[in-house]
Amino acid sequence: MSNVKLAIVYYSSTGTNYKLAQAAAEGAKEIGAEVKVVRVPETAPEQAIASNPAWKAHAEATKDVPEVTHADIEWADAIIFSTPTRFGNMASQMKQFFDTTGGLWFQGKLVNKVVSAMTSASNPHGGQEATVLSLYTTMYHWGAIVAAPGYTDPITFQAGGNPYGTSATAVDSGEIPDAVLQAARHQAKRTATVAGWVKAGQSS
């Protein structure tokens, strides 16, 4: 997979999806993929961020993580998106970024990107599956190829059984069970592997 370029694009307010993104990066690097971890721009007002100590602390801790650009999307053979759920949908920050990709879409530069998605919510049935599926709806418009984890590894069951994409239950302590982090690593390996197949097929 040394020729596969993977972008991990995330939004995280208090850190859960940042941790999922880091775990995914570890997994992809283990199989030789070239990886970029980038965050979508924060659109919430400073007052809202400052009112939540955990949000403010995470924003400060990750201020040096590069913001995603259209160039990152063009560069990537594969992209993993990670966002918290907002009422069963993606966070508005992620949607805002998606809404800027019309030019890339119009030029056909998003076709055949291999994509996958991860999410989190504050309880086990807080909209995780719907959120991942909402991300994939955009990907179908792109002409991308969705590489969901399915049940391709037993770790999916141990992590909660979401076949659409790894999902974490956010808790006040900020801890994520090791099985969920392992599931994120597996999902990244699978996404990069599928991208390698697609890339090889396109060049043959």
User: If you average pLDDT over residues 148-165, what whole number do you get?
Assistant: 96
- Strand pairing of 78-86 and 34-39? unpaired
Q: Is 39 exposed, middle or buried (0-12, 13-18, 19+ CB in 10 A)?
A: buried
Measured from the Cβ of residue 32, the count of other Cβ atoms closer than 10 Å reads 13
**pLDDT tens readout for residues 25-38:** 999 999 999 999 99
* pLDDT for 77: 98
- Left (φ > 0), alpha (ψ -120 to 50) or beta: where does 22 sit? alpha
In the numeric block, which tokens belong to residue 50? 């400052």
Measure CA 122 to chain center.
17
Question: Residue 176 corresponds to which amino acid?
Answer: I
71's enclosing H/E stretch is: helix 70-75
Q: What is the pLDDT of residue 124?
A: 84
Structure-block tokens of residue 52? 């939540």
Average pLDDT, the chain: 95
C-alpha 139/C-alpha 145 separation (Å) is 8
pTM reported for the whole predicted model: 0.95
Residues for the chain: how many in total? 204
Q: How many angstroms separate the CA atoms of 171 and 155, rounded?
A: 21
- pLDDT tens digit sequence for 71-125: 999 999 999 999 999 999 999 999 999 999 999 999 999 999 999 999 999 888 8
Q: What is the pLDDT of residue 204?
A: 64
Domains and CATH numbers, the chain: 5-203 (3.40.50.360)
Residue 133's closest CA among 145, 119, 122?
119
pLDDT score at 170: 84
